[in-house]
Structure 1
Amino acid sequence: MTTTRQQQTKKLTVGQALIEFLANQWTVDGDIRERTIPGVFGIFGHGNVAGVGQALKQYHETDPGLMPYHQARNEQAMVHQSVGYARMHRRRATYASTASVGPGAANLLTGAALATANRLPALLLPSDTFATRVSDPVLQQMEHPHDTSLQVSDAFRPLSRFFDRVERPEQLFSIALAAMRVLTDPAETGAVTIALPEDVQAEEIDVPVEFLQPREWHIRRPLPEKGPLARAVEAIENAKRPFIVAGGGVLYSGAEDELRQFAEATGIPVGTSQAGGGALLWDHAQNLGGVGATGTLASNDLAAEADVVIGIGTRYSDFTTASRTAFQDPDVKFVNINVQSFDAYKHGSQLPIVADARETLSALLDALADFHVDEAYAQRIASEKAKWDDLVDESFLPSHLALPGQSEIIGAVQAASDPTDVVVQAAGSLPGDLHKLWRVRDALGYHVEYAFSTMGYEIAGGLGVKRGAPERDVIVMVGDGSYLMLHTELVTAVAEGIKIIVVLIQNQGYASIGHLSETVGSERFGTLYRKFDEAHQDFQGSEILPVDLAANARSYGIDVIEIDPSAEVDAIDALSAAMATAKASTTSTLIHINSDPLIYAPDGAGWWDVPVAQVSAIESTRKAREQYVVEQAKQRPLLG
């Protein structure tokens, strides 16, 4: 360490300086203070092995616990774990992920897009080729004759909320601080990427000790402005059929208690987006369940008639708006509450409130103290909720068929779970069925990644959830299609002794896009797992693949329980028993069960805009086009 007249400095490499800096960053949210970056996931190769990798090793020896390191089996999965952890910590903390040059860095791209789409923080540290270019072209370097500066890391620019490259050691200070600002800003957060050339990572730099001192990043909770708040209050007071869409912003703000109080005081019904699952518990009188394309009939029926829609922390995706068919009142108005102005102004709303969800709900509760929906509307809410709850109860009843439907499986898993257990899902038909059927009993008990709906997210995301809430049981529900995308993270669960429960539902194909294929008249083409049919030159035959996914999982070293569809024991009874065994275990368990993909959950009357060919030689496609035109006619610009 040297001393100058201006400041003390410490000689470190750029990699060492970055790791020590990250270890001293703290997020403060009211009375909660926690480490912003509690650890680093990494796969080391040429690019980061001598930089960030060496730094992690050095601190592991000289200052154990300063920055914990965790292995992963796939770079994409590292980011998925970070996102799962971040949601459980309401965006206050996330992990960093370091990867090597070229393919290692490229494998992070899907994770970056997922984090940004979900508005969840993840810090990415992809390695880059030599800044000096002394060895050009190096192994795994991209070469573009028109721009030799372009590298794999540049692909992160459109996927990140923040991107910069440390081309000189001195740039680290300003880049690291700017990255932390975005990472901890509720309105800006997402994937934050710092590209690190491999030579720069290992270069020496005089680091100001001040840069390495503990630093706090306070979460902003902006208050609603008087004007926008007053206009919103007036619109709600004049509403006859108001309706709330609760999104993930309710949970990230910690506003579930305020939402409950507001719903109880006003009687306004609540529909939840996928990210908003848990914002209001399932049995609350005002909770009508999911809204939109995968929503409940109760929620969608009242949403269609709403004259004022109060969006709280939602980005209004096409699934939430049922591709702009959910809200049919011609004069509907939108009160959009969001910390991000981009989302608050969506659908042309003239009633945006750019503010924190919790602070705004508190203000609305005070301002609307004398407001309550009329008795007729209140009775309608109760009636619709009761009818839907009865439908869900019915769908959970065992059919005692050899292959149960997905609804029965969800019902059995739900019955075996505890209120604080977390269900994790992302892709396929399960997100839609869970949105309709899963009865969320805890604010953080529902984790469905549905902004990017990434196949393969489930197991890695479930590990991140468990890291973020080790006291809870984490139930990963995954179809065979998504399982095959990224099952190798089961090795991580074994290596670190992380307990998750994986319910693997095998339906011999892609159930979700298989059903979607039928709706557009393509008759499940290319969605079945079958042996190639030489005669017809397709995969549409009847010979099922002899793939043993239970054996695959068992090979990784976790406990596996197989439910044999040919056994005398009823499959749902066997699933219930398996869940009890898995819950009692201290290690990870995978439960394998076969299902019938043609048994569907109750219809919620939601629509999703997937274009159908305007002309076709196939009769099924022509019929699908006719139905598509009927549904498309219901779309409206939703200018409120």
Structure 2
Amino acid sequence: MSKIKMTVGQAIVKFLNNQYVEFDGIENQFVDGFFTIFGHGMVVGLGQALAENPGHLKVYQGRNEQGMAHAATSYAKQNNRRRIIACTSSIGPGAANMITAALTASINNIPLLLFPSDSFATRQPDPVLQQIEQSYNLNITTNDCYKPVVRYWDRISRPEHVMTALINAMRVLTDVSNTGAVCIALPQDVQGESFEFPDYFFKKRVHHIARRLADSKEIENAVELISRSKYPLFVGGGGVRYSEAGEVLQDICGKFEIPYAETQAGKSSTPSSNPMNLGGVGITGTLSANTAAEKADVVVGIGTRFNDFVTCSKEVFRNPDVKFVTINTSEFDAGKMDAERVVGDAKLNLQAISEKLEQKNYKTSYGKGEIAGIKEEWEKERKSVCDAVYTSENFTPCVPSWTPKIINDYIRDIGGTITESNGVSIVREVIDDDAIVVASAGSLPADLERLWTTDVKDSYNMEYGASCMGYEIAGALGSKLAEPSREVYALVGDGSFLMLNSEIATAVQENAKITVVVFDNAAFGCINNLQMGNGIESLCTEFRYRDDKTGKTDGKYIYTDFAKIGEGYGMKSYTAKTPKELRDALEDAKKQTESCIIDAKVLPKTMAEGYKSWWHIGVASVSKSKKTQESYKGICEKLKKARMY
């Protein structure tokens, strides 16, 4: 054994250069590079190592630490968790800014490696710039805030600590059942300290991502339950995507005529056109999927956490005798809904279940053409919603909380006449079939899960575990870095755009063309619907000037020129106030080589409404509003029917 003397920063860079993953016999380097905004906490430590000898690691310049970490998350997702970009920040605000991204990655089980800098391990210069001090515990730093939102946390207080920390980080980052954000806090003095590291620490490591077959008894129990069912429904989540189990899911459902639905994370794992694919299920689900869900006597969840949006707060599965099976690499998630657990890989275990069902000559009780009929009925409705256009003579928005004044005020102050659902359909119609669409939060996820169709694998990148506003543009950058040959579109509401748009600058810098379509309805529109739909007056959810007479923010709508903001970043810009202008802008943007922004002025209250769905929210139990009273009564009635676990 020989030894190599180097700093902690240099050791981190050398180690990451030699990490590989292998899945289904395909091996690739795991870490592509680093996102960073250099600060005094690490510019001369880890930064020195990246400048002197980065190896194959690329260094990307972020503009906001949260944004760059979202971009890294999206990069990992687009690579189906088999390639990552690490992130590093200074202490204090830089470190704190990445916490939201860590939360988002962990909720969605996406590997995200973070190296926030930390205060001095020696404590001698304390308190340094950006350091928080707690008099009751001097060990606490900003980075302790990561502990609730990461899958692994460590602090390198001595140079040799970096060895166990990095090995454990790789264990978690490549663990399909428990991956998420990893935080390794780097005290700024320790980054520059040296140690004689053993050469074997830097050997090439290949992390095998295994496909695990569940225990035979688990498979038998699942098969027994499914084989007794008359109206089963399969629900494909993110685990279908990451296991690349889409073809097997289609095969088993086609063979036994079992309908299946998708979650946001599972969408684009299989073609929308598949006869058994009923689309999204739950609160943002389709009429077809929710119709099948309420009838299902057995629900088979594949790689899904069964969150409240998938289950309509556990109310959409309305068959009183419904049972659940889950196929999941995580034992914790496999136990959701009091299900029969099948703990293991989605693809492998679906194949095993299919073989045994075939041996039993299993058939469902769906009538001839019944599934096709359900799907056909929804397709008519979907097309009707997509084709909804504004005419002043005859127009009724989809959302119950609308008033004519809202529409008239918007047209007067903003001038747009595009409906949101029609805007989504125009984007779908115009862009390339293999283009990647990225979105998160607000009303767009509902419209996209219901109305968006795609037959191209991994073309849908929705962050909806944390529903994190601000992911969209950074996520588009991450997807583009992952797949440079494909067009990438960020569909973003005006509220999300205003929260975080800084990574446009990085996209321009990297010549990574993205097209940002801003759906500007001058509001936090989704929340305004929720607010007004439950009997609360519109309060600080619309973007309006404060009225001098009323003292409230209920004056004229605020016109924001998002096209000009994009121009300031160096994007080619367009403003669209009509469906034709939106279509023309999209067609022209396809021809461009630089990043583009389309400022689409979209009428409020024109998103698709729910289908047989319900969401449990904390409505006031006491109120002067009759509508709020009715909402609370409705929740109480629904809770009587919802499943309780």
Provide the TM-score with structure 2 as the length reference.
Answer: 0.94
Which deviates more, 131-140 or 375-384? 375-384
**1:603-628 deviations in Å (ceiling 9; x for gaps):** 32211111210111233322322333
- The answer (yes or no) to whether the contact 2:427–2:583 under 8 Å persists in 1 is yes
C-alpha distance in 2 between matches for 1:251 and 1:619: 45
1:419 offset after TM fit, Å? 2.1
Q: How does 1:88-487 map to 2 (within 5 A)?
A: 88-349=78-339, 351-369=340-358, 370-374=360-364, 376-397=366-387, 399-401=389-391, 403-487=417-501
1:371 offset after TM fit, Å? 4.2
Amino acid in the other structure paired with 2:429: A
C-alpha distance in 2 between matches for 1:216 and 1:96: 18
Amino acid in the other structure paired with 2:308: D
Amino acid in the other structure paired with 1:363: A
> What is the SS of the residue equivalent to 2:548?
coil
C-alpha distance in 2 between matches for 1:242 and 1:608: 23
**1:174-225 deviations in Å (ceiling 9; x for gaps):** 1110110100010110001111000000101112121112111011211121
Amino acid in the other structure paired with 2:190: V
1:324 offset after TM fit, Å? 0.7
C-alpha distance in 2 between matches for 1:307 and 1:619: 37
**1:211-258 deviations in Å (ceiling 9; x for gaps):** 112111011211121101011111111100100011000000011111
Which of 573, 578, 594 is the equivalent residue of 1:587?
594
C-alpha distance in 1 between matches for 2:493 and 2:480: 20
Amino acid in the other structure paired with 2:49: A
> What is the SS of the residue equivalent to 2:508?
helix
- The answer (yes or no) to whether the contact 2:231–2:366 under 8 Å persists in 1 is no
Amino acid in the other structure paired with 1:131: A
C-alpha distance in 2 between matches for 1:378 and 1:153: 59
1:372 offset after TM fit, Å? 4.8
Which of 35, 40, 45 is the equivalent residue of 1:46?
40
C-alpha distance in 2 between matches for 1:106 and 1:288: 41
Structure 1: gaps spanning 5 or more residues: 1-6, 566-570
Amino acid in the other structure paired with 1:631: K
- The equivalent residue for 2:574 is 561
Matched, 1:533 2:547: yes
C-alpha distance in 1 between matches for 2:314 and 2:554: 34
1:173 offset after TM fit, Å? 0.7
Given the superposition, is the C-alpha separation of residues 347 and 375 from structure 1 closer, same or farther in structure 2, using an over 3 Å criterion?
Answer: closer
1:146 offset after TM fit, Å? 1.1
Amino acid in the other structure paired with 2:565: N
**1:321-362 deviations in Å (ceiling 9; x for gaps):** 10010111122111110000000011222x100000010111
- The answer (yes or no) to whether the contact 1:395–1:602 under 8 Å persists in 2 is no
Amino acid in the other structure paired with 1:262: I
1:596 offset after TM fit, Å? 0.9
- The answer (yes or no) to whether the contact 1:267–1:372 under 8 Å persists in 2 is no
C-alpha distance in 1 between matches for 2:617 and 2:387: 32
- The answer (yes or no) to whether the contact 2:103–2:149 under 8 Å persists in 1 is yes
> What is the SS of the residue equivalent to 1:319?
helix
Amino acid in the other structure paired with 2:92: G
C-alpha distance in 1 between matches for 2:234 and 2:465: 20
- The equivalent residue for 2:398 is none
C-alpha distance in 1 between matches for 2:613 and 2:73: 28
**1:502-525 deviations in Å (ceiling 9; x for gaps):** 111100011110111122221332
C-alpha distance in 2 between matches for 1:76 and 1:371: 52
Which deviates more, 16-25 or 579-588? 579-588
C-alpha distance in 1 between matches for 2:377 and 2:585: 31
Given the superposition, is the C-alpha separation of residues 535 and 371 from structure 1 closer, same or farther in structure 2, using an over 3 Å criterion?
Answer: farther
- The answer (yes or no) to whether the contact 2:436–2:487 under 8 Å persists in 1 is yes
Which of 547, 553, 562 is the equivalent residue of 2:560?
547
C-alpha distance in 2 between matches for 1:320 and 1:590: 32
- The answer (yes or no) to whether the contact 1:294–1:436 under 8 Å persists in 2 is yes
C-alpha distance in 2 between matches for 1:380 and 1:538: 53
- The equivalent residue for 1:8 is 2
1:280 offset after TM fit, Å? 2.3
C-alpha distance in 2 between matches for 1:70 and 1:388: 44
C-alpha distance in 1 between matches for 2:444 and 2:593: 26
C-alpha distance in 2 between matches for 1:627 and 1:291: 22
Amino acid in the other structure paired with 1:24: N
> What is the SS of the residue equivalent to 1:441?
coil
- The answer (yes or no) to whether the contact 2:280–2:449 under 8 Å persists in 1 is yes
Given the superposition, is the C-alpha separation of residues 396 and 434 from structure 1 closer, same or farther in structure 2, using an over 3 Å criterion?
Answer: same
C-alpha distance in 1 between matches for 2:139 and 2:642: 45
C-alpha distance in 1 between matches for 2:530 and 2:107: 23
1:498 offset after TM fit, Å? 0.6
C-alpha distance in 2 between matches for 1:536 and 1:168: 61
Matched, 1:597 2:604: yes
**1:380-408 deviations in Å (ceiling 9; x for gaps):** 21111000011111122252545121110
1:378 offset after TM fit, Å? 4.9
Which deviates more, 179-188 or 530-539? 530-539
Which of 578, 583, 587 is the equivalent residue of 1:576?
583
Given the superposition, is the C-alpha separation of residues 422 and 503 from structure 1 closer, same or farther in structure 2, using an over 3 Å criterion?
Answer: same
C-alpha distance in 2 between matches for 1:312 and 1:523: 41
C-alpha distance in 2 between matches for 1:69 and 1:511: 37
- The answer (yes or no) to whether the contact 2:258–2:364 under 8 Å persists in 1 is no
Structure 2: gaps spanning 5 or more residues: 392-415
Structure 1 stretches (4+) deviating beyond 4 angstroms? none
RMSD of the alignment, in Å?
1.3
> What is the SS of the residue equivalent to 1:278?
coil
- The answer (yes or no) to whether the contact 1:44–1:100 under 8 Å persists in 2 is yes
- The answer (yes or no) to whether the contact 2:302–2:346 under 8 Å persists in 1 is yes
Which deviates more, 331-340 or 515-524? 515-524
1:546 offset after TM fit, Å? 3.7
Matched, 1:626 2:633: yes
C-alpha distance in 2 between matches for 1:201 and 1:375: 64
C-alpha distance in 1 between matches for 2:610 and 2:558: 31
C-alpha distance in 2 between matches for 1:228 and 1:615: 47
Q: How many residues align?
A: 620
C-alpha distance in 1 between matches for 2:559 and 2:285: 36
- The equivalent residue for 1:4 is none
Which deviates more, 149-158 or 512-521? 512-521
- The answer (yes or no) to whether the contact 2:106–2:179 under 8 Å persists in 1 is yes
C-alpha distance in 2 between matches for 1:32 and 1:573: 46
- The answer (yes or no) to whether the contact 1:250–1:357 under 8 Å persists in 2 is yes
Which of 14, 18, 22 is the equivalent residue of 1:24?
18
- The equivalent residue for 2:615 is 608
C-alpha distance in 2 between matches for 1:603 and 1:513: 15
C-alpha distance in 2 between matches for 1:177 and 1:377: 54
> What is the SS of the residue equivalent to 2:503?
helix
Given the superposition, is the C-alpha separation of residues 602 and 102 from structure 1 closer, same or farther in structure 2, using an over 3 Å criterion?
Answer: closer
Matched, 1:490 2:504: yes
- The equivalent residue for 1:3 is none
> What is the SS of the residue equivalent to 2:433?
coil
